[in-house]
Structure 1
Amino acid sequence: MSDPVLQNLVDRVQSARADGHPLLIRGGHTKAFYGEALQGQPLDIRPLAGISSYEPSELVVTVRAGTWLADLEAALADQGQCLPFEPPHYALGGTVGGMVAAGIAGPARASVGGVRDYVLGATLLNGRAEVVSFGGTVMKNVAGYDVARLLAGSMGVLGVILEVSLKVLPRPPATATLRFELDEATALRKLNEWGGQPLPISASAWWDGMLVLRLSGAAAAVQAAEKQLGGEPVEPAMAAPFWQGLRDHQDEFFTKAQAAVQAGATLWRVSVPQTAPTLDLPGNPAHERLIEWGGAQRWVVTNAPALVLREAAARAGGHAVVFRGDKSPGVFAPLAPAQLGLQQRLKNAFDPEHIFNPGRLYPDL
Structure 2
Amino acid sequence: MLPLPAAIQPFVDQIRAAAADQTPLQIRGGGSKDFYGCLQPAGLLDTRSLSGVVDYAPSELVVTVATGTPLSTLEALLAEQGQCLPFEPPHYQWSTRVAGAPASTATVGGLVASGLAGPARASVGSVRDYVLGLKLINGRGEYLTFGGQVMKNVAGYDVSRLMAGAMGTLGLMTEVSLKVLPFAPAEATLVFPLGQAAALEQLHRWAGEPLPLNASCWVHDGSAGAAGQDLLFVRLRGAVAAVEAACQRMLREVPGERMDPVQAAADWDRCRDQTLPFFTDSAATGHALWRLSVAQTAPVLDLPWAQLIEWHGGVRWLWAPLQAGPQLQTVARAAGGNAMVFVAGAADVTGAKCQFRSDVPGQAALLKRLKAAFDPAGIFNAGRLYPDF
TM surpasses 0.5: yes
Instruction: State the alpha-carbon separation in 1 of the partners of residues 362 and 44 from structure 2.
Output: 32
Q: Which of the numbers 288, 296, 321 marks the counterpart of 1:266?
A: 288
Residue 320 of structure 2 aligns with which residue? Answer: 302
Q: 1:248 to 1:328 in 2, by over 3 A?
A: closer
Query: What's the counterpart of residue 211 of structure 1?
Result: 232
Whole-Å separation in 2 of the counterparts to 1:328 and 1:235: 39
Equivalent position amino acid for 1:109 in 2: R
Tell me the equivalent position of 2:302: 280
CA distance in 2, matches of 1:2, 1:305: 50
- Kindly provide the CA deviation profile for residues 136-179 of structure 1, in whole angstroms up to 9, marking residues without a partner as x: 11111023111100100000000001111000000011111100
Change (3 A) 1:38 1:329: closer
Cα displacement (A) at 1:5: 2.6
Residue of structure 2 aligned with 1:323, choices 342, 354, 358: 342
Distance in 1 between the 2:130 and 2:373 partners?
Answer: 24
User: 2:281, 2:358 → 1: CA distance?
Assistant: 28
In the TM superposition, structure 1's runs of 4+ consecutive aligned residues that sit over 6 Å from their partners are none
CA contact 1:39–1:358 (8 Å) conserved in 2: no
Give the deviation of 1:194 after TM superposition.
Answer: 0.4
Q: 1:135 aligns with which of 127, 131, 147?
A: 147
Structure-to-structure mapping, 1:148-163, within 5 angstroms: 148-163=160-175
1:81-96 → structure 2 map (5 Å cutoff): 81-91=83-93, 92-96=104-108
> Which AA in structure 2 matches 1:294?
H
Match of 1:28 in 2: 30
Q: How does 1:352-363 map to 2 (within 5 A)?
A: 352-363=376-387
Tell me how far 1:341 sits from its aligned partner: 0.2
- The superposition leaves residues 236-280 of structure 1 with CA deviations (integer Å, 9 ceiling, x where unpaired) of 1210110000011111111123223xxx21111111110001112
Within the candidate set 218, 242, 247, 2:267 is matched to: 242
Q: Normalising to structure 2: TM-score of the pair?
A: 0.90
Is residue 220 from structure 1 mapped to residue 241 from structure 2 by the alignment? yes
CA contact (8 A) 2:135 2:144 kept: yes
Q: Which moves more between the two structures, 116-125 or 36-45?
A: 36-45
1:71 is paired with a residue whose SS is helix
Rounded to whole Å, the distance in 2 between the matches of 1:329 and 1:96 is 26
Deviations 1:263-318 (A, max 9, x none): x211111111100011123xxx4x12100000001101112511011111001110
Could you tell me how far apart the structure 1 residues matched to 2:358 and 2:324 are?
Answer: 15
Equivalent AA in structure 2 for residue 18 of structure 1? A
Q: Is the 8 A contact 2:38 2:353 kept in 1?
A: no
Mark the runs of 5 or more structure 2 residues left unpaired by the alignment. Answer: 94-103, 221-229
**Structure 1 counterpart of 2:106, which letter?**
G
Residues in 1 aligned to 2:300 and 2:353: alpha-carbon distance in whole angstroms = 23
SS in 2 for 1:4: coil
Root-mean-square deviation (CA, aligned residues, Å) is: 1.3
Select 1:198's aligned residue among 200, 205, 210.
210
Looking at structure 2, the residues matched to 355 and 96 of structure 1 have their Cα atoms a distance apart, in angstroms, of 22
1:39 Cα offset (Å): 3.1
Structure 1 position 2, deviation (Å)? 6.3
**Does the Cα contact within 8 Å between 2:65 and 2:175 map onto a contact in 1?**
yes
One-letter amino acid matched to 2:308: L
Distance 2:121 2:360 in 1: 26
Say whether the 8 Å CA contact 1:90–1:249 is kept in structure 2. yes
Paired residues in the alignment total 358
1:328–1:60: structure 2 CA closer, same or farther, 3 Å change rule? closer
Contact kept, 8 Å, 1:271 with 1:320, in 2: the verdict is: yes
Alignment-mate amino acid for residue 352 of structure 1:
P
- SS in structure 1 of the partner of residue 283 of structure 2: helix
Identity of paired residues, percent? 55
Contact 2:38 2:352 in 1 (8 A): no
> Does the CA-based 8 Å contact 1:120-1:142 persist in structure 2?
no
Given that 2:290 and 2:317 are in contact with CA atoms closer than 8 Å, whether structure 1 keeps it comes out as yes
What CA distance in whole angstroms lies between the structure 1 residues aligned with 2:52 and 2:243? Answer: 36
